[in-house]
Amino acid sequence: MKFLDQAKIYVRSGDGGDGVTAFRREKYIEFGGPDGGNGGRGGDIIFEAVPNLNTLIDFRYTQHFRARKGGNGAGSDRTGAASPAVVIKVPIGTQIMDDDRETLLADLDEAGKRVTLCRGGDGGFGNANYKSSTNRAPRRSDKGWPGEERWVWLRLKLIADVGLVGLPNAGKSTFLSVVSAARPKIADYPFTTLHPQLGVVRLSMTEEFVVADIPGLIEGAHEGTGLGDRFLGHVERCAVLLHLIDGAAGNVVDTWRTIRHELAAYGGGLAEKPEIIALNKTDAMTPREASARRAALQKASGAPVLLISAATRQGVPELLRLLQDKVTASRKDAQDQS
């Protein structure tokens, strides 16, 4: 399945049904009076977050959604049928943006969350509604109210607990394949990962968390260099960022500063998120090189640095335990606040 995290669609709710002008005509009833019914309500446009979707690819082929018009009224005081709502199912984490791509209309960040984006028009009144003591035979009936229409942008931000960030070829895909059942593409050239990947890490029967691997960042990503930084939106909801650095490539301090600069330039609170720094590919370094580069990185970042090798799993269990503790603490804080 191809991954798509942005789509533009057109939605229109249904118009209300028309009221009618009708009079009761029955044998032996001389003054039947008005009995025109009201029109039915038009269908709504509703968005719903469902757990079994993880891409917006369906909206590349279906871009227009229209609800039906409400039924017209009829004689004998019969009200027109209300039209059913059109329910558009989207992945959890989908944001609905206005056509300007800046105004947030809705954020469907929980399974089962629904939002009515366009309400159907009300039905028009039939002439029976206008009957009064002074107007015994009204001939007035109203048209139904029009529905609402608009173009909107759908933007998917994956729901994950841990976000993997780093330069291309830092070993993020290898790490994801080792700690989860995900099978991302792995190769010895930059930008092997072109789309975000999700993996579930299970430490025990009761402990698990979701990891999101996004395409690598390079200097100037916030200006569109490389694949740009739009995939950073998929780690905005993460509780903690795992910053993987290729220790065998050298210049670990410059690498760390490059990624931190891109996170700060993107915004969205990414620069303030808790960060765990891991120096990867220790199997390709001598112990002396690993120790020196770790010390330099700790001095520059002011935070502890873990030594791991995703290929040999050296230091990986300890890193996963640390990530699980961070995620568990974040979930507890969220529950306390709610």
Question: Binding site residues for Mg(2+), as ranges?
Answer: 173, 193
Residue ranges of the binding site for GTP = 166-173, 191-195, 213-216, 280-283, 309-311
Contacts of 15 (CB under 8 A, 6+ apart): 42, 69, 70, 120, 121, 144, 145, 146, 147
- Count of CB atoms within 10 A of residue 84's CB? 12
- Count of CB atoms within 10 A of residue 116's CB? 13
E runs forming strands in the chain: 6-12, 45-50, 64-66, 86-91, 94-97, 104-108, 114-118, 149-156, 162-165, 197-202, 208-213, 240-246, 275-280, 305-307
If you count them, how many residues does the chain have?
Answer: 338
Dihedral of the CA atoms 75, 80, 81, 86 (nearest 10)? 160
Q: In degrees, to the nearest 5, what angle opens at C-alpha 306 toward C-alphas 292 and 176?
A: 125
CA distance linking residue 334 with residue 338, whole number of Å: 6
